[in-house]
Structure 1
Amino acid sequence: MSKYISTIGLLLLSNAFMTLAWYGHLKFFSKEGGHSATPMWMIILLSWGLAFFEYCFQVPANRIGSSEMGGPFSLVQLKIIQEVITLIVFMIFSLVVFKNVRFSMNHLIGFGLLVGAVYFIFKG
């Protein structure tokens, strides 16, 4: 059971850093009118720095969780778990950091279909 929890916990941490790297600059380095005084190259380097930590969690998660390495998940299962965790982390991040984001019923239905994909991937 600990490989299940370790894999999912590391994927959660990994996705938190990646979401921050991908979208954090839109909130933390923007001004009114949508322009930032921070040069693009600096924002890219900062995002790369955050992505480094994403990989520090993602690689061990995949190695611990992979059935190729003695873990409980197939490669396809690892990928679908990662995608669902990405959506969950993104939803929480966007609601907390970008207070004006609202999810419609179409978003929720789409996310529900992805959770359905998890069911079918794990059933087979």
Structure 2
Amino acid sequence: MTFAWYGHLRFLHNQVWIVAVFISWGFALFEYLLQVPANRIGFQVASAGQLKILQEVISLSVFIPFSVYILKESFKTDYIWAGLCLLGAVFFMFKDKIIS
């Protein structure tokens, strides 16, 4: 979803917004075609909350390099703090599986 949500900022910035919307929706549709079956498979072994936390960890892991290399933004220590908060969220969501 990173490319669908943020790719237009770099590659379609000189297009009218409606063009960016439809192109982004095309990318989002492709990603949903992968994400929905993955969630259905994952829900057999993990809870919805665990799947959501995993999605956020993956999203941040993809977003940081995307923002630095594609959007040409500078790396911020806030990314590290956000990542550490997500690791805490992972611990709390999976602690029953980790501890037992």
Q: TM-score range by the shorter chain?
A: 0.7 to 0.9
- What is the correspondence of 1:55-94 to structure 2 with a 5 Å cutoff? 55-66=32-43, 71-94=44-67
Q: TM-score, normalised by structure 1?
A: 0.72
Q: Deviations over 1:57-110 (max 9, x none)?
A: 1101101100xxxx2211111111011111111112112202232222x33122
Return the alpha-carbon distance in structure 2 between the equivalents of residues 27 and 61 of structure 1: 29
Report the residue type matching 1:28 in the other structure: F
Listed as ranges, the matches of 1:1-124 within 5 Å are 18-30=1-13, 36=14, 38-66=15-43, 71-104=44-77, 106-124=78-96
Q: Which runs of 4+ in 1 moved over 6 A?
A: none
| Secondary structure class of the residue paired with 1:117 | helix
The count of corresponding residues between Structure 1 and Structure 2 is 96
CA RMSD of aligned residues (A): 1.2
TM-score (norm 2): 0.87
Check conservation: 2:53, 2:90, Cα contact below 8 A: yes
Q: Is the 8 A contact 2:54 2:90 kept in 1?
A: yes
Identity score, percent: 48
C-alpha distance in structure 1 between counterparts of 2:41 and 2:75, whole Å: 35
Structure 2 portions without partners, runs of 5+: none
